[in-house]
Amino acid sequence: MRVVKRALTLEPRDRDKVPKYLAIRNWLVDRIANGDFARGEQLPSEHEVMAQFSVSRVTARQAFDDLRSMGMVEAKRGKGYFVSRLLATASLERLQSFGEMMAALGVETHSDILELSEGECDAATAEGLGLAAGTVVTRIGRSRIAGGTTVSVDIGALPLEIGRKLMLLDLARNDVFHLMEQQLGLEIGFADLTLDVAEVPTEIRHALGVSDQEQVLRLKRRTFSNSGTVLMFEYIYARLDRLQFRVRIPRW
């Protein structure tokens, strides 16, 4: 029988404010995000949680129910609770950054920087940015990681006046949208998005963890300011088992 080895601790200001089931849920989320419990691994049982945190079965079950509703845990009858594969859900009703999308799951995110460079853009990138072919642009390549899992690899191109400023900021721990709005004072208005299934470029297969023959989701996104200026053009490559989309479609 597995026992929980790390004690639950709360900040003094939270001890009387956070319900116990939420504190337990958050503790488990942190352990999953930190890789203490890997995908497919069995979590502590309700009885172990009851003993560790001196709570009732109702409280322990409520914590696990929350994790199930977040998509982080699955219950197997007669066996217990297991860590689900991480499946990010992107809403097509609102423009979201990666961090905003994962925040709903309570999972912290970061990026591994794969590329920071300047160079002449190809025809597709030039069209995406509304520039002349061969214009020098900034390229930013990142692996987008949540809970120890690479969800996507994003390859973006930006006009030099924006890209050069972003290259000096903390791209590993912050979303580009956040940095644009909070650090550069840019107002992001909307984005055009197209989606298909494609082969992943050879140079990023390893970062995404896919084989030569495996296909992935490919998102082509043009992000605009409120005034209609193109701020960024990017390709986002995501594994088919790591990302899904949600949209509400009205009847009329």
User: What is the tens place of the pLDDT at every residue in 94-117?
Assistant: 888 888 877 766 667 889 999 999
**Rounded CA separation 33/29 (Å):** 6
Determine the pLDDT at residue 4: 43
- Closest to 202 (Cα-Cα) out of 192, 193, 212: 212
Task: Over range 150-156, report the average pLDDT.
Answer: 92
User: What is the tens place of the pLDDT at every residue in 157-178?
Assistant: 999 999 999 999 999 999 999 9
Determine the pLDDT at residue 46: 92
* Residue spans in the chain of domains classed CATH 1.10.10.10: 12-83
Query: Which CATH number applies to 88-246?
Result: 3.40.1410.10
* Residue spans in the chain of domains classed CATH 3.40.1410.10: 88-246
**Rounded CA separation 217/78 (Å):** 36
Q: Check whether 5 has a pLDDT greater than 60.
A: no
Q: Under a CB-based contact definition with an 8 Å cutoff, are residues 212 and 120 in contact? A: no
Q: What is the mean pLDDT of the chain?
A: 85
Pairwise pLDDT comparison (76 vs 9), residue with the higher score: 76
Compute the Cα dihedral for 65, 67, 70, 76 and give only its sign.
Answer: negative
Determine the pLDDT at residue 248: 73
Task: Over range 3-15, report the average pLDDT.
Answer: 45
Query: Which CATH number applies to 12-83?
Result: 1.10.10.10
